[in-house]
Chain A
Amino acid sequence: MLFRRRRALVCRQAVELMSDYVDGALAARDRARLEAHLAGCPHCTEYLAQIREVIAAAGRVEPDDLPPQALDDLVALYRRWSQG
Protein backbone atom coordinates (compact mmCIF):
# COMPACT_ATOMS: atom_id res chain seq x y z
CA MET A 1 0.00 0.00 0.00
CA LEU A 2 2.83 2.32 0.88
CA PHE A 3 4.47 1.43 -2.42
CA ARG A 4 1.29 2.18 -4.32
CA ARG A 5 0.82 5.52 -2.59
CA ARG A 6 4.36 6.58 -3.36
CA ARG A 7 3.79 5.91 -7.06
CA ALA A 8 0.51 7.81 -7.25
CA LEU A 9 0.58 10.71 -9.70
CA VAL A 10 0.33 14.33 -8.69
CA CYS A 11 -1.40 16.87 -10.95
CA ARG A 12 1.88 18.29 -12.27
CA GLN A 13 2.80 14.84 -13.57
CA ALA A 14 -0.72 13.96 -14.73
CA VAL A 15 -0.92 16.89 -17.19
CA GLU A 16 2.21 15.62 -18.93
CA LEU A 17 0.42 12.36 -19.81
CA MET A 18 -2.85 13.78 -21.16
CA SER A 19 -1.92 14.05 -24.83
CA ASP A 20 -0.62 10.49 -25.09
CA TYR A 21 -3.64 9.32 -23.10
CA VAL A 22 -6.05 10.87 -25.58
CA ASP A 23 -4.14 9.23 -28.45
CA GLY A 24 -4.14 5.83 -26.75
CA ALA A 25 -0.34 5.97 -26.70
CA LEU A 26 0.23 5.42 -22.98
CA ALA A 27 1.59 2.15 -21.60
CA ALA A 28 -1.04 0.21 -19.65
CA ARG A 29 0.55 1.00 -16.29
CA ASP A 30 0.68 4.75 -16.94
CA ARG A 31 -2.87 4.71 -18.24
CA ALA A 32 -4.05 2.99 -15.05
CA ARG A 33 -2.17 5.49 -12.86
CA LEU A 34 -3.61 8.43 -14.77
CA GLU A 35 -7.15 7.06 -14.64
CA ALA A 36 -6.80 6.48 -10.90
CA HIS A 37 -5.68 10.10 -10.51
CA LEU A 38 -8.47 11.44 -12.72
CA ALA A 39 -11.08 9.55 -10.70
CA GLY A 40 -10.22 11.68 -7.68
CA CYS A 41 -9.19 14.98 -9.29
CA PRO A 42 -11.83 17.26 -10.79
CA HIS A 43 -9.19 19.83 -11.87
CA CYS A 44 -7.25 17.33 -13.95
CA THR A 45 -10.55 15.99 -15.30
CA GLU A 46 -11.34 19.53 -16.45
CA TYR A 47 -7.85 19.87 -17.92
CA LEU A 48 -8.32 16.64 -19.88
CA ALA A 49 -11.70 17.85 -21.15
CA GLN A 50 -10.03 21.03 -22.41
CA ILE A 51 -7.31 19.08 -24.22
CA ARG A 52 -10.04 17.02 -25.89
CA GLU A 53 -11.86 20.23 -26.83
CA VAL A 54 -8.70 21.69 -28.37
CA ILE A 55 -8.28 18.57 -30.52
CA ALA A 56 -11.94 18.46 -31.57
CA ALA A 57 -11.97 22.16 -32.42
CA ALA A 58 -8.63 22.00 -34.28
CA GLY A 59 -10.24 19.58 -36.73
CA ARG A 60 -12.74 22.30 -37.61
CA VAL A 61 -10.26 25.10 -38.31
CA GLU A 62 -10.90 26.19 -41.89
CA PRO A 63 -8.10 27.55 -44.09
CA ASP A 64 -8.41 31.15 -45.22
CA ASP A 65 -10.66 31.70 -48.20
CA LEU A 66 -8.86 31.89 -51.50
CA PRO A 67 -9.18 35.35 -53.08
CA PRO A 68 -10.73 35.04 -56.59
CA GLN A 69 -7.76 36.89 -58.08
CA ALA A 70 -5.34 34.31 -56.67
CA LEU A 71 -7.30 31.50 -58.32
CA ASP A 72 -7.35 33.34 -61.66
CA ASP A 73 -3.60 34.01 -61.40
CA LEU A 74 -2.87 30.33 -60.81
CA VAL A 75 -5.09 29.25 -63.69
CA ALA A 76 -3.24 31.75 -65.92
CA LEU A 77 0.04 30.19 -64.80
CA TYR A 78 -1.40 26.75 -65.55
CA ARG A 79 -1.99 27.83 -69.16
CA ARG A 80 1.63 28.95 -69.45
CA TRP A 81 2.95 25.80 -67.79
CA SER A 82 0.90 23.48 -69.98
CA GLN A 83 2.14 25.26 -73.11
CA GLY A 84 5.75 25.36 -71.91
Chain B
Amino acid sequence: MGDDDVGLVERLRDGDEGAFRVLVERYQGQLLRLAASLVTSRAVAEEVVQETWLGVVRGIEGFEGRASVRTWLFRILVNRARSAGAREYRSIPLDLGHEPAVPPGRFSPKGTWASPPVTWTDDADERLTAKALAGRIGHLLHRLPDAQRQVFLLRDVEGLPATEVGDLLGVSDGNQRVLLHRARSSMRGMLEREMGRV
Protein backbone atom coordinates (compact mmCIF):
# COMPACT_ATOMS: atom_id res chain seq x y z
CA MET B 1 0.00 0.00 0.00
CA GLY B 2 1.64 3.18 -1.15
CA ASP B 3 1.03 6.87 -1.38
CA ASP B 4 -1.67 6.67 -4.02
CA ASP B 5 -5.02 7.91 -2.75
CA VAL B 6 -6.70 4.55 -2.29
CA GLY B 7 -3.63 3.15 -0.56
CA LEU B 8 -3.61 6.11 1.80
CA VAL B 9 -7.27 5.58 2.70
CA GLU B 10 -6.59 1.92 3.41
CA ARG B 11 -3.64 2.85 5.62
CA LEU B 12 -5.81 5.39 7.37
CA ARG B 13 -8.34 2.67 8.16
CA ASP B 14 -5.51 0.89 9.93
CA GLY B 15 -4.86 3.99 12.03
CA ASP B 16 -1.77 5.17 10.15
CA GLU B 17 -1.09 8.77 11.20
CA GLY B 18 1.42 9.22 8.38
CA ALA B 19 -1.31 8.48 5.84
CA PHE B 20 -3.51 11.13 7.45
CA ARG B 21 -0.70 13.65 7.22
CA VAL B 22 -0.14 12.96 3.51
CA LEU B 23 -3.88 13.20 2.74
CA VAL B 24 -4.09 16.53 4.58
CA GLU B 25 -1.07 17.87 2.73
CA ARG B 26 -2.57 16.75 -0.55
CA TYR B 27 -6.15 17.93 -0.12
CA GLN B 28 -6.43 20.55 2.61
CA GLY B 29 -5.92 23.44 0.18
CA GLN B 30 -8.57 22.18 -2.23
CA LEU B 31 -11.02 21.45 0.58
CA LEU B 32 -10.57 24.88 2.11
CA ARG B 33 -11.00 26.56 -1.26
CA LEU B 34 -14.23 24.66 -1.90
CA ALA B 35 -15.52 25.25 1.63
CA ALA B 36 -14.89 28.97 1.30
CA SER B 37 -17.16 29.02 -1.76
CA LEU B 38 -19.95 27.18 0.07
CA VAL B 39 -20.21 29.04 3.38
CA THR B 40 -20.20 32.67 4.32
CA SER B 41 -17.07 33.08 6.42
CA ARG B 42 -13.51 31.83 6.52
CA ALA B 43 -13.94 30.69 10.12
CA VAL B 44 -16.95 28.52 9.23
CA ALA B 45 -15.08 27.19 6.18
CA GLU B 46 -12.20 26.08 8.41
CA GLU B 47 -14.64 24.40 10.79
CA VAL B 48 -16.32 22.60 7.88
CA VAL B 49 -12.96 21.31 6.63
CA GLN B 50 -12.04 20.13 10.11
CA GLU B 51 -15.36 18.30 10.40
CA THR B 52 -14.70 16.76 7.00
CA TRP B 53 -11.46 15.24 8.24
CA LEU B 54 -13.22 14.08 11.38
CA GLY B 55 -15.82 12.40 9.16
CA VAL B 56 -13.02 10.72 7.21
CA VAL B 57 -11.22 9.48 10.31
CA ARG B 58 -14.33 8.20 12.04
CA GLY B 59 -15.44 6.49 8.85
CA ILE B 60 -18.94 7.95 9.05
CA GLU B 61 -18.96 8.03 5.28
CA GLY B 62 -17.38 4.79 4.13
CA PHE B 63 -15.11 4.97 1.11
CA GLU B 64 -16.19 2.28 -1.34
CA GLY B 65 -13.88 3.14 -4.21
CA ARG B 66 -16.69 3.93 -6.64
CA ALA B 67 -15.69 7.58 -6.84
CA SER B 68 -12.19 9.01 -6.57
CA VAL B 69 -10.91 9.85 -3.09
CA ARG B 70 -11.05 13.52 -4.01
CA THR B 71 -14.72 13.32 -5.02
CA TRP B 72 -15.45 11.38 -1.84
CA LEU B 73 -13.78 14.10 0.24
CA PHE B 74 -15.67 16.81 -1.64
CA ARG B 75 -18.95 15.00 -1.01
CA ILE B 76 -18.32 14.77 2.73
CA LEU B 77 -17.37 18.44 2.73
CA VAL B 78 -20.49 19.59 0.87
CA ASN B 79 -22.66 17.62 3.30
CA ARG B 80 -20.85 19.16 6.27
CA ALA B 81 -21.23 22.63 4.75
CA ARG B 82 -24.96 22.11 4.28
CA SER B 83 -25.37 20.97 7.85
CA ALA B 84 -23.46 24.04 9.03
CA GLY B 85 -26.88 25.68 8.79
CA ALA B 86 -29.04 27.48 6.26
CA ARG B 87 -27.72 30.81 7.49
CA GLU B 88 -24.16 29.94 6.56
CA TYR B 89 -24.69 27.91 3.37
CA ARG B 90 -24.58 29.71 0.03
CA SER B 91 -27.20 27.71 -1.85
CA ILE B 92 -27.66 27.97 -5.60
CA PRO B 93 -30.92 29.72 -6.55
CA LEU B 94 -33.33 27.81 -8.78
CA ASP B 95 -34.25 30.83 -10.89
CA LEU B 96 -31.10 32.31 -12.39
CA GLY B 97 -32.82 35.10 -14.32
CA HIS B 98 -31.21 36.70 -17.33
CA GLU B 99 -27.73 38.17 -17.36
CA PRO B 100 -25.79 38.86 -20.57
CA ALA B 101 -22.27 37.43 -20.97
CA VAL B 102 -20.99 40.80 -22.13
CA PRO B 103 -22.40 44.22 -21.09
CA PRO B 104 -24.88 45.37 -23.78
CA GLY B 105 -22.98 48.64 -24.17
CA ARG B 106 -20.11 46.77 -25.81
CA PHE B 107 -22.32 46.12 -28.85
CA SER B 108 -23.82 48.35 -31.52
CA PRO B 109 -27.61 48.54 -31.84
CA LYS B 110 -27.30 45.89 -34.57
CA GLY B 111 -25.57 43.51 -32.16
CA THR B 112 -22.05 43.67 -33.61
CA TRP B 113 -19.04 44.55 -31.47
CA ALA B 114 -18.75 48.31 -30.85
CA SER B 115 -15.95 47.84 -28.31
CA PRO B 116 -14.37 44.51 -29.32
CA PRO B 117 -12.28 42.27 -27.05
CA VAL B 118 -8.63 43.24 -26.99
CA THR B 119 -5.88 40.63 -27.19
CA TRP B 120 -4.40 39.92 -23.76
CA THR B 121 -0.74 40.72 -23.73
CA ASP B 122 1.88 41.76 -21.25
CA ASP B 123 5.32 43.22 -21.70
CA ALA B 124 7.08 39.88 -21.82
CA ASP B 125 4.90 37.83 -24.13
CA GLU B 126 2.87 38.11 -27.28
CA ARG B 127 0.02 36.44 -25.41
CA LEU B 128 -0.27 35.93 -21.70
CA THR B 129 0.79 32.43 -20.73
CA ALA B 130 -1.64 30.04 -19.05
CA LYS B 131 0.58 30.18 -15.94
CA ALA B 132 0.39 33.97 -15.71
CA LEU B 133 -3.35 33.87 -16.27
CA ALA B 134 -3.76 31.17 -13.62
CA GLY B 135 -2.25 33.46 -10.98
CA ARG B 136 -4.68 36.20 -11.89
CA ILE B 137 -7.67 33.87 -11.96
CA GLY B 138 -6.73 32.59 -8.49
CA HIS B 139 -6.87 36.14 -7.18
CA LEU B 140 -10.14 36.95 -8.92
CA LEU B 141 -12.04 33.77 -7.94
CA HIS B 142 -13.55 35.30 -4.80
CA ARG B 143 -15.12 38.07 -6.88
CA LEU B 144 -17.38 35.70 -8.78
CA PRO B 145 -20.93 35.48 -7.43
CA ASP B 146 -21.36 32.47 -5.10
CA ALA B 147 -23.17 30.07 -7.41
CA GLN B 148 -20.90 30.87 -10.36
CA ARG B 149 -17.82 30.41 -8.20
CA GLN B 150 -18.94 27.00 -6.94
CA VAL B 151 -19.56 25.67 -10.44
CA PHE B 152 -16.45 27.27 -11.98
CA LEU B 153 -14.29 25.97 -9.14
CA LEU B 154 -15.48 22.39 -9.46
CA ARG B 155 -15.67 22.24 -13.26
CA ASP B 156 -12.79 24.35 -14.58
CA VAL B 157 -10.41 24.62 -11.62
CA GLU B 158 -10.81 21.12 -10.15
CA GLY B 159 -11.75 19.57 -13.50
CA LEU B 160 -14.67 17.45 -12.26
CA PRO B 161 -17.15 16.18 -14.87
CA ALA B 162 -20.58 17.80 -15.13
CA THR B 163 -22.39 14.79 -13.70
CA GLU B 164 -20.31 14.82 -10.50
CA VAL B 165 -20.73 18.56 -10.07
CA GLY B 166 -24.49 18.21 -10.55
CA ASP B 167 -24.59 15.55 -7.83
CA LEU B 168 -22.37 17.48 -5.44
CA LEU B 169 -24.14 20.82 -5.70
CA GLY B 170 -27.63 19.54 -6.40
CA VAL B 171 -27.86 21.74 -9.50
CA SER B 172 -29.63 20.77 -12.74
CA ASP B 173 -27.65 20.28 -15.95
CA GLY B 174 -29.27 23.36 -17.48
CA ASN B 175 -28.51 25.64 -14.54
CA GLN B 176 -24.99 24.28 -14.29
CA ARG B 177 -24.36 25.20 -17.93
CA VAL B 178 -25.77 28.69 -17.40
CA LEU B 179 -23.67 29.26 -14.28
CA LEU B 180 -20.49 27.96 -15.91
CA HIS B 181 -21.10 30.15 -18.94
CA ARG B 182 -21.61 33.22 -16.76
CA ALA B 183 -18.58 32.42 -14.63
CA ARG B 184 -16.29 32.03 -17.63
CA SER B 185 -17.71 35.19 -19.19
CA SER B 186 -17.34 37.12 -15.92
CA MET B 187 -13.78 35.90 -15.48
CA ARG B 188 -12.90 36.92 -19.04
CA GLY B 189 -14.44 40.34 -18.42
CA MET B 190 -12.61 40.82 -15.12
CA LEU B 191 -9.29 39.90 -16.72
CA GLU B 192 -9.97 42.34 -19.52
CA ARG B 193 -10.73 45.14 -17.07
CA GLU B 194 -7.79 44.23 -14.84
CA MET B 195 -5.48 44.68 -17.78
CA GLY B 196 -6.81 48.18 -18.15
CA ARG B 197 -7.78 47.83 -21.76
CA VAL B 198 -11.48 48.50 -21.43
* Chain A contacts for B30, CB-based, 8 A: 63
Bound complex: CA of A20 vs CA of B136, how far in Å? Answer: 24
Partner of B130, one of A16, A60, A79: A60
Bound complex: CA of A13 vs CA of B155, how far in Å? Answer: 24
By Cβ-Cβ distance, the 6 closest A-B pairs, closest first, are A63-B29, A10-B111, A57-B133, A19-B181, A58-B156, A43-B116
Write the nearest CB–CB distance from A21 to chain B, whole angstroms: 10
The answer on a CB contact under 8 Å between A16 and B107 is no
Q: List 30 A-B contacts (CB under 8 A).
A: A10-B111, A10-B112, A11-B107, A11-B113, A12-B102, A16-B100, A16-B181, A19-B101, A19-B181, A19-B184, A20-B181, A43-B116, A47-B102, A53-B127, A53-B128, A54-B156, A54-B188, A55-B156, A56-B130, A57-B131, A59-B156, A61-B134, A64-B33, A66-B25, A71-B24, A71-B25, A74-B28, A75-B24, A77-B54, A81-B57
Using CB atoms and an 8 Å cutoff, list the residues of chain B in contact with chain A: 15, 17, 20-21, 24-25, 28-30, 32-33, 50, 53-54, 57-58, 100-102, 104, 107, 110-113, 116-117, 119-120, 127-128, 130-131, 133-134, 136-138, 141, 152, 156-157, 159, 162, 177, 180-181, 184-185, 187-188, 191-192
Bound complex: CA of A57 vs CA of B136, how far in Å? Answer: 9
* Chain B contacts for A71, CB-based, 8 A: 21, 24-25, 28
The answer on a CB contact under 8 Å between B25 and A19 is no
* Chain B contacts for A82, CB-based, 8 A: 15, 17, 57
Bound complex: CA of A20 vs CA of B185, how far in Å? Answer: 12
Partner of A19, one of B111, B117, B180: B180
Write the nearest CB–CB distance from B186 to chain A, whole angstroms: 10
Partner of B191, one of A19, A20, A54: A54
The answer on a CB contact under 8 Å between A54 and B184 is yes
Which single residue of chain B is at the shortest CB-CB distance from A67? B28
- Given A20-B181, A58-B157: A43 touches B113 (CB 8 Å cut-off): yes
The answer on a CB contact under 8 Å between B120 and A50 is yes
The answer on a CB contact under 8 Å between A51 and B133 is no
The answer on a CB contact under 8 Å between A78 and B57 is yes
Write the nearest CB–CB distance from B191 to chain A, whole angstroms: 7
* Chain B contacts for A16, CB-based, 8 A: 100-101, 181
Which single residue of chain B is at the shortest CB-CB distance from A78? B20
Bound complex: CA of A78 vs CA of B187, how far in Å? Answer: 38
